[in-house]
């Protein structure tokens, strides 16, 4: 499903975030990308999701090389993805419902279908009773749950999460990881970037470890 081949990413100014990285993720697999701060975890997820393009190498999703794909085609590809970002990217002047609905509104779904999917997603993450609230009134863990609801509302085949437990206490972190595991158990491919090795121990998932932009030996 996901094949990263000899990928490097160099930013303006010469900073090399990734260096000759090759890795793959099978359909329905749950994989953790680990490494120290600055190892290249976030960059790898952005390349997989087509948010950024590599300086060299290729990223193939479902047989399509997204590094050569025209920018007009990328939005259609991204409908296969759900993204959970480190900084949440929530709209604090909108309700919980409106935040979760945003991907469907952008995609042009009918209002009735939007309502059905949004309430189903909020129910899955335990926020159905907060749909009229503003994100600023939610706890950090609840804001993360809202991000997950927004990411799954379009029923993606692939979930990409960048440090989803980074600002949460251990109990909330375990709940969030359990939620991803539940999505994976129904066939969703899950790729999570994390530095929290204690939290993922015992899950039996494969780990891709980065070290200063390269694959750790």
Task: Give the span between the Cα atoms of 140 and 152, in whole angstroms.
Answer: 19
pLDDT of the residue at 194: 93
Task: Give the span between the Cα atoms of 93 and 82, in whole angstroms.
Answer: 22
Q: Where are the alpha helices (DSSP H) in 33-136?
A: 41-48, 74-78, 96-107, 111-124
pLDDT tens for residues 6-57? Answer: 999 999 988 999 999 999 999 999 999 999 999 999 999 999 998 899 999 9
pLDDT of the residue at 201: 81
Greatest mean pLDDT among 41-45, 140-144, 196-200: 41-45
For 105-166, list the strands marked E by DSSP.
Answer: 158-162
pLDDT top residue among 167 and 150: 150
pLDDT tens for residues 60-91? Answer: 998 889 888 887 777 777 778 999 988 878 99
Residue 213's pLDDT band, with cuts at 50, 70 and 90, is very high
pLDDT tops 90 at residue 198: no
Task: Give the span between the Cα atoms of 12 and 105, in whole angstroms.
Answer: 34
pLDDT of the residue at 78: 74
Strand bridging mode 2-10 / 56-61 = antiparallel
Mean pLDDT of 176-180: 91
pLDDT of the residue at 196: 84
Q: Where are the domains of the chain?
A: 1-80+161-217, 89-155
User: Nearest 5 degrees, angle CA 202-CA 157-CA 101?
Assistant: 105
Q: Residue 175 has which token pair?
A: 């709940």
Residue 202's pLDDT band, with cuts at 50, 70 and 90, is confident
Residue 169's pLDDT band, with cuts at 50, 70 and 90, is confident
Q: Residue 158 has which token pair?
A: 């692939």
CATH architecture type of domain 1-80+161-217: 3-Layer(aba) Sandwich (3.40)
Q: Residue 202 has which token pair?
A: 């015992």
pLDDT tens for residues 83-132? Answer: 998 887 899 999 999 999 999 998 899 999 999 999 999 999 999 999 99
Long-range Cβ pairs for the range 13-20 (8 Å, 24+): 16/213, 17/43, 17/213, 18/43, 18/44, 18/47, 18/54, 18/210, 18/213, 18/214, 19/212, 19/213, 19/214, 20/57, 20/214
Please compute Rg for the chain using Cα positions. Answer: 17
């Amino acid at each position: 499903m996901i094949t990263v081949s000899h990928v490097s990413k160099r930013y303006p100014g010469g900073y090399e975030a990734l260096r000759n990285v090759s890795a793959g993720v099978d359909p329905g697999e749950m994989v953790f990308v680990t490494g120290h701060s600055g190892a290249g975890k976030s960059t790898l997820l952005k390349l997989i999701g087509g948010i950024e393009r590599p300086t060299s190498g290729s990223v193939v999703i479902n047989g399509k090389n997204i590094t050569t794909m025209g920018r007009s085609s990328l939005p259609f590809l991204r409908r296969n993805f759900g993204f959970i970002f480190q900084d949440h990217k929530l709209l604090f002047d909108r309700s919980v419902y409106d935040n979760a609905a945003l991907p469907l509104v952008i995609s042009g779904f009918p209002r009735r279908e939007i309502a059905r999917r949004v309430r189903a997603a909020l129910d899955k993450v335990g926020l159905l009773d907060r749909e009229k609230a503003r994100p600023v009134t939610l706890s950090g863990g609840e804001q993360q749950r809202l991000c997950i609801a927004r990411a799954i509302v379009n029923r993606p085949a692939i979930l990409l999460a960048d440090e989803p437990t980074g600002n949460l206490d251990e109990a909330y972190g375990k709940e969030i990881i359990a939620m991803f595991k539940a999505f994976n158990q129904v066939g969703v491919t899950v790729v999570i970037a994390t530095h929290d090795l204690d939290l993922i121990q015992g899950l039996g998932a494969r780990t891709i470890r980065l070290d200063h932009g390269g694959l750790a030996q």
